[in-house]
Amino acid sequence: MILLIDDFREFKDGREAIIARSSAAGISELAHHKKLSELWLDFDLGGTDDIIPVLRYLLEAYREQQAPTIGQVYIHTSSESAVQMMSLFLKAAGIANPIRAYADEHFII
């Protein structure tokens, strides 16, 4: 199962994925699906929303030994500082090697 957390993008290749358009929706999907093959994360989720609540959720779930099993995490934000911050959060949550993906290669923009 693939979870994409992004406020407007969809995959170019039409692959089947659950799409969460806000941090609250992303947290809900993560709580519901305990095993994901891929998790795709954008930083800016529109308006004042961003991915930080999702990262905090993952960190807390990891600390409580209730984190979902995730095959691979992809970060597809354009901000290099956001990539670095997200990578640090993910590492603290037991996800050591997120892959940097570029939106124009994977998504309808």
pLDDT tens sequence across 30-59: 999 999 999 999 999 999 999 999 999 999
pLDDT at 25 over 90: yes
Where is pLDDT greater, at 80 or 107? 80
Instruction: Give the model's pLDDT for residue 7.
Output: 95
Per-residue pLDDT for 62 more than 90? yes
The answer to whether residue 108 scores a pLDDT higher than 90 is no
How far apart, in whole angstroms, are the C-alpha atoms of residue 67 and residue 63? Answer: 8
First to last CA, the chain: 22
